[in-house]
Structure 1
């Protein structure tokens, strides 16, 4: 009886702690059917994964405004069910290839350790990619990843003060690659949304600014990026830019965005070429979590013989859970 009483007492004491903890399974399945033409090849019909993912996140309330949390996010191929393809250098991607982090937060902001996508990207190029979350064949092909580091990071996130917030992250090279750092600044208040980002690793760095303004049914946005990467072929510095507009009407969204850059730098096939990209898209929101979409995207590159050209007509479904 004493053992039962002690066990009951421990359970009673533990119950409030468990009640303040939570773990959530979440994700996105985003798949399209497309007619794609690349370079001088024949047009082909394809089923395309648009950065689908599966994740777990959890939070524990530690009291006095202090919280501990974690995030694990896996990128998967929704077209064939496999793990996301290999990296550009041919190495296998990590299973938790989108995020694996632990965080402590409070009135002071938040401190995070692990792997996650740099805030400089979310503050600029991703924010402007309104039509399909910068994914799949219609992703921003021009944005530079110079100084772009995801792994082995320590980051600090400021509290939101009157619409302002910032992220500062350091990358530990661990004797394998150069140390790096990433800075992101955001302002979101009313119809005006501004952002800036800077990243540097070794000899590669980039900075960008972003603006977005909501005017009734219209949303206008754009970013400008300056890339400096002495490792690349040709010119080591160049400007990259994109402008985007969205018009909403009921459950429908109409999108147009245009981007361009000159040859050089590290982005867009290792500096071999410059180019322009055009995307025209339509989204129909069945709910807050599910939408149908269609788009046409085209890349007009300066590479000889249209080697890096691309255009695609797509119909797709995106579902968040």
Structure 2
């Protein structure tokens, strides 16, 4: 729905009567019945925790969930024409948990920005989507939603968690701290103008907002209080007709120890693309992330970097008013240990789904997915965590979503 803001003329803003302004209220309400079954296998011999020597253990859940096809949200966006090709805009978007009604306008965790745009492009300030996230969602047939979302997206999200993660300020409300892989708070972003013959791009810098002490010796001894939270990234791409591809890079500081002189950062690069043949659309993405410790004075026994590599392949096939979706993804962790005899942890996932569009705004959908962990990886399609201890090691995770999405 669109609301004219003629009342803005009453506000103490110069020339507001001559400006053209509007506010749009928009959103998505997405609900599904979802099921999850996560299985672990025995790794040894009978123990006090498993005296009867069960060969497997499973934890399952059936739930009414949200965001199985598109993320449920409520948003407000507006633009004021400043003349001369300039425009000022705002965008406030909150996640909503419509399955229980607990999370709503109490937080604008999805996006909260104000911007100035013109022939030069757009400068945007606030909490916004990070460059890496766009390749994950644009080049995955499941759009990083529901049980079908690729393991590249879920593994990288966990890999980029701050050390330690920040708890929510209020129980039940998502925290806007603790991770900047998909979204970054306190950011300044720049976007290229849209008239570059198909080329597009953005750069982003997010402040860590930590205190700096002078002299440094009065800095508190707590970990992660000097540099953790800083983010820098960018994305450049090209879209023309059926072709779209983009390269993105991001560096997130996830830990620091001021007195040890160390900073831990995750540096990620991904490349994705899609091509629409009409009868089907192909998707693909490659991702590599490295968790690195930077030393002010490097010791002889420096910590090895940890790498996370993964890829996604997918296809969508339109069938009348519907869409068939298929996706396969895989990730592998490399601890770079020179004398290790253990195989590297890895996981792969296959998902299939169908979307039936009742209208441009309303759709029914169903998705099933199966994920297999190997060598200690512990990823899931959703739901409860896998049983992972000295007795059981994670193995498989399966799930389904059957739901309805309505956009407005």
**TM-score, scaled to structure 1:** 0.84
| 8 Å Cα contact 1:234/1:263 also seen in 2 | no
Structure 2 partner of 1:240: 310
Structure 2 residue 93 is matched with structure 1 residue 73? yes
The 5 Å alignment of 1:172-251 reads 172-175=207-210, 176=225, 177-202=228-253, 203-230=265-292, 236-251=306-321
Structure 2 partner of 1:317: 404
Structure 2 partner of 1:60: 80
Equivalent residue in structure 2 for 1:300, among 372, 395, 398: 372
| 8 Å Cα contact 1:56/1:72 also seen in 2 | yes
Compute the displacement of 1:82 (Å): 1.0
Structure 2 partner of 1:33: 33
| 8 Å Cα contact 2:146/2:401 also seen in 1 | no
Structure 2 residue 219 is matched with structure 1 residue 168? no
Structure 1 partner of 2:124: 112
Offset from partner CA, 1:141-173 (integer Å, 9 cap, x none): 333244625111001000121110110011111
Structure 1 partner of 2:332: 262
| 8 Å Cα contact 2:322/2:357 also seen in 1 | yes
Structure 2 partner of 1:3: none
Compute the displacement of 1:14 (Å): 5.6
Compute the displacement of 1:216 (Å): 2.1
Structure 1 partner of 2:42: none
Compute the displacement of 1:308 (Å): 6.3
Compute the displacement of 1:313 (Å): 2.3
Q: Distance in 1 between matches of 2:17 and 2:331?
A: 58
| 8 Å Cα contact 1:104/1:110 also seen in 2 | yes
Compute the displacement of 1:187 (Å): 1.1
Gap change, CA 1:14 and 1:77, over 3 Å in 2? closer
Which aligned runs of 4 or more in structure 1 are off by greater than 6 angstroms?
A: none
| 8 Å Cα contact 1:33/1:315 also seen in 2 | yes
Q: How many residues align?
A: 293
- Select between 43-52 and 20-29 the one with higher mean Cα deviation: 43-52
Offset from partner CA, 1:228-255 (integer Å, 9 cap, x none): 0136x98611321000001112211111
Q: Distance in 2 between matches of 1:128 and 1:238?
A: 19
| 8 Å Cα contact 2:92/2:113 also seen in 1 | yes
Offset from partner CA, 1:6-36 (integer Å, 9 cap, x none): x99x9xx86543xx10111111111111222
Structure 1 or 2, whichever has the larger Rg, is 2
| 8 Å Cα contact 2:369/2:399 also seen in 1 | yes
Structure 2 residue 198 is matched with structure 1 residue 128? no
Any idea what SS the aligned residue of 1:41 has? Answer: strand
| 8 Å Cα contact 1:48/1:136 also seen in 2 | no
Any idea what SS the aligned residue of 2:193 has? Answer: coil
* RCO higher in structure (CA 8 A, sep ≥6): 2
Any idea what SS the aligned residue of 1:126 has? Answer: helix
**TM-score, scaled to structure 2:** 0.67
Offset from partner CA, 1:102-145 (integer Å, 9 cap, x none): 000001000001101112211x11112233x3123322233324
CA RMSD of aligned residues (A): 2.6
| 8 Å Cα contact 2:23/2:79 also seen in 1 | yes
